[in-house]
Amino acid sequence: MALQQTELRPMGKSIGRKEDPRLIRGKGRYIDDIMLPNMLYMCVLRSPYAHARIRRIDASAALAAPGVKLVITGEDLAGMNLAWMPTMAGDTQMVLATGKVLFQYQEVAAVVAETRAQAEDALQLIEVDYEPLPVVVDPFKALEPDAPILREDKEKKSNHIFHWEAGDREQTEALFRDAPVIVKQDVRFPRVHPSPLEPCGCVADYNSATGRLTFYVTSQAPHAHRTVLAMVSGLPEHQIHVISPDVGGGFGNKVPVYPGYVCAIVASLKLGVPVKWIETRTENITSTNFARDYHMTAEIAAREDGRVLALRVKTIADHGAFDAAADPSKFPAGLFSIVTGSYDFRSAFVEVDGVYTNKAPGGVAYRCSFRVTEASYLIERVMDVLARRLQMDPAELRLRNFIRKDQFPYHSPTGWVYDSGDYEKTLNLALQRIGYAELRKEQAEKRARGEFMGIGISTFTEIVGAGPGHTFDIMGIKMFDSAQIRVHPTGKVIARLGVRHQGQGHETTFAQIIAEELGLSADDVLIEEGDTDTAPYGLGTYASRSTPTAGGAAALCGRRIREKARKIAAHLLEVGEDDVIWDGLAFTVKGLPGRSVSMKDIAFAAYTNVPEGMEPGLEATYYYDPPNLTFPNGAYIAVVDIDKGTGAVKVRRFVAVDDCGNVINPMIVEGQVHGGLTEGFAIAFMQDIPYDADGNCLAPNWMDYLVPTSLDTPHWETDRTVTPSPHHPIGAKGVGESPNVGSPAAFVNAVVDALSPLGVEHIDMPIFPWKVWSILREHGIDE
């Protein structure tokens, strides 16, 4: 259904000439809306056990049930050499359980029927004989020598997946030996779930006459999905047409390929009709990829005046039963080594070990660039621990240790090259906006009265825009991105890009970029994404890479078109090409501003009156491989009050100052910041996916895994500073994930600050009221 175009009020100036950019919404529909002739429905049977041997599966009763057309088991897939599929992290994952199950809710069998209700009923008729096996949900116990081996398919003698490290071990150890001050803190970032509004789903439609598969899927990376499906199914890639329609949220959850996708394709191949599969909410939370679940220990060596010297970090990463992250192949722990944050450490050493456990696959980059959220949270917590040890104001400690603006481009001790920033300016703006000095006075007065008020600071550096092809790839495919722009004779434009939005406003942002480059109105630009038959190959939308990569491709593609347009302008103006000047709106003749031709004039001429020997038309394709990532940053400050009677934490104020480089559309940025802060708030106070000792998932739905409502969500105050990225074509850095990266530490730092008079130095998230209540009661605080 086509949506009406909607005017949005401007919240500030953009880089474009229009101060009131339109939100241009394209046509689209969700997976649930797709109805095809003769379409069947698929549901999946899932394991009640976290670890068990499968002795027998009897599906005869299900096959005889009303409306049932097909039952698929792991043995059936093994007979077609489809039992296992590659993950984007280079691991392998069962499509349907073969031999044994490795986590509760793992896919065991699939039923295809005429209606969804018939398929669901038939699932109950499948008999599975399980032999329970020992369960391991603690990653530390999984590494013990006598732990049961989970991945027998790997012929491994342990549950260890990888060891990864960055930095200089020897130099770091030397600085620690001589340091007058050393602080250490164990920190856990709990297992959380992206939990998008729309769960994962697909419609597989194989045409036996043409041999072509049309695959509608809730995908953040349609081209990558097509490549993986070709690898799994054996279908030629050019015979796979992936269409990602409107996607109701992704946040990293819709980057991987899931077993349901493969089973739907197998069913369509076997039956020759379309097959639809859509998850339930419980299936989405319990079996699709989780995030975080990092057990981290950080130590800082510092001088007595607060100057940091070295950072030492050791981490255990719980990846569940399969390593299903979409991390670049050179970075099995993602970009966690950004853990030095915004601070000028002389040396650092970081190591991460990945571990298999009897949990659903983990490692997805939930609204962050491959483990950056964990890294930012860790360094910001430990900096507060250091401030408390030194009895120094946490703002002063950060200001004393920031990378200075004259140090950019800055080479971090773990190997990154930060492009630009002014961290001192950003924090000072946040301090000024929130009235920091006055708040500290108020806090002292409240403490004297026995009240608990806290102020938490988080100053973070993000790393986004994956990425440079010389360093970043997914399954060997370089992480460039693409744009294809076609200018029609009337000056109207269709632009197709290799990314895919899930609500980020690409139709607005990219239309503005292209309009700015071509001197046209954004209303004249139609943006298309998500169709592998029309869009150029791209790696998709995640890791805040849309504007840093596809936005760069769009800008440079527009400039490529402008170069041809310059030649046509010279022809129309009857002057040499060197005499033609682009003024942002039209081509003019040097010294004769009255003689000019607009891009619309040139567009018509491109199809009717080109110079002799020139190919007609006005279009271009550009594959942009950025020279570096971009490094947004921010300073967030939270103010909280604690109710002594209940332990409830009230976020009274929250100021977020972001630096995402040049801003294309301030309304889009504002929306992204608000959404990310809300997710960070939920992670800090409401969300965890716990498991009991038997591997039972204890938060399988929105009754137990809480999602904040408008009544729960604090009021957000936002501002920005701007330090353009020097290497990006339009100086943009990306912003979509920054608020999720930076906000959890601000919330936790505020709560710990409130409770610090009781000697509290750390609380692991989520900070449920009962945790705070227990701390207060332990210290005799009973209102």
- pLDDT above 70 (res 9): no
Is the previous residue joined to 467 through a cis bond, with omega within 30 degrees of 0?
yes
pLDDT tens digits for 105-152? Answer: 999 999 999 999 999 999 999 999 999 999 999 999 999 999 999 999
Q: How many residues does the chain have?
A: 783
Give dist(CA 749, CA 454) in Å, integer: 8
Question: Which among 283, 517, 679, 737 is annotated as catalytic?
Answer: 737
Closest CA to 257 of 392, 111, 133, 94: 94
What is the enclosing helix (H) or strand (E) of 86? Answer: strand 84-86
For 378, the token pair is 């860790």
Confidence class for position 475, pLDDT limits 50, 70, 90 = confident
Question: Which among 46, 188, 191, 367 is annotated as catalytic?
Answer: 367
For 11, the token pair is 């919240």
Closest CA to 656 of 681, 637, 679, 682: 637
Angle, CA 499 vertex, CA 498 and CA 504 arms, to 5°: 150
Lowest-pLDDT range of 94-108, 346-360, 461-475: 461-475
**Residues contacting 166, CB < 8 A, separation 6+:** 337, 348, 349, 350, 414, 415
Quick one: average pLDDT of 412-424?
98
Structure confidence at residue 28 (pLDDT): 54
Q: Is 356 helix (H, G, I), strand (E, B) or coil?
A: coil
- pLDDT above 90 (res 13): no
- pLDDT above 50 (res 18): no
Quick one: average pLDDT of 201-213?
97
Active-site annotation holds for 152: no
CA distances from 77 to 52, 62, 84, 109, 208 (A): 20, 18, 8, 10, 20
- pLDDT above 60 (res 236): yes
Closest CA to 202 of 112, 274, 271: 274
CA 604 to chain centre: 42
For 486, the token pair is 């076609």
For the full predicted model, state whether its pTM sits above 0.85: yes
Q: Is 571 helix (H, G, I), strand (E, B) or coil?
A: helix
Lowest-pLDDT range of 121-135, 374-388, 465-479, 528-542: 465-479
- pLDDT above 80 (res 522): yes
- pLDDT above 90 (res 21): no
Neighbours of 249 (CB within 10 A): 17
For 408, the token pair is 């950019």
Neighbours of 490 (CB within 10 A): 11
Closest CA to 265 of 202, 221, 324, 211: 202
Helices (H), 372-435: 372-390, 394-401, 423-434
pLDDT tens digits for 159-199? Answer: 999 999 999 999 999 999 999 999 999 999 999 999 999 99
CA 539 to chain centre: 13
Give dist(CA 187, CA 754) in Å, integer: 19
Residue that is written with structure tokens 């950025």 in the block: 626
Q: What is the 3-state secondary structure of 614-670?
A: CCCCCEEEEEECCCCCECCEEEEEEEEEECCCCCCEEEEEEEEEEECECCCCHHHHH
Quick one: average pLDDT of 54-78?
98
pLDDT tens digits for 594-639? Answer: 899 999 999 999 999 999 999 999 999 999 999 999 999 999 999 9
- pLDDT above 90 (res 544): no
Helices (H), 236-331: 259-271, 281-287
Structure confidence at residue 742 (pLDDT): 97
Active-site annotation holds for 502: no
- Percent of the chain's residues with pLDDT above 90: 91
Question: Which among 202, 368, 660, 697 is annotated as catalytic?
Answer: 368
**Bridge partners for 112 per DSSP:** 42, 70
pLDDT tens digits for 476-498? Answer: 889 999 999 999 999 999 999 99
Question: Which among 93, 118, 220, 443 is annotated as catalytic?
Answer: 220
Quick one: average pLDDT of 671-690?
97
Give dist(CA 403, CA 422) in Å, integer: 8
Give dist(CA 742, CA 457) in Å, integer: 9
Structure confidence at residue 526 (pLDDT): 96
Give dist(CA 757, CA 192) in Å, integer: 30
Give dist(CA 85, CA 226) in Å, integer: 13
How confident is the prediction for the chain on average, in pLDDT?
Answer: 94
Quick one: average pLDDT of 588-597?
93
Neighbours of 450 (CB within 10 A): 10
Active-site annotation holds for 220: yes
Active-site annotation holds for 368: yes
For 129, the token pair is 């004989």
- Find out whether 327 and 333 touch, Cβ atoms under 8 Å: yes
Confidence class for position 467, pLDDT limits 50, 70, 90 = confident
Confidence class for position 19, pLDDT limits 50, 70, 90 = very low
pLDDT tens digits for 718-770? Answer: 999 999 999 999 999 999 999 999 999 999 999 999 999 999 999 999 999 99
pLDDT tens digits for 555-577? Answer: 999 999 999 999 999 999 999 99
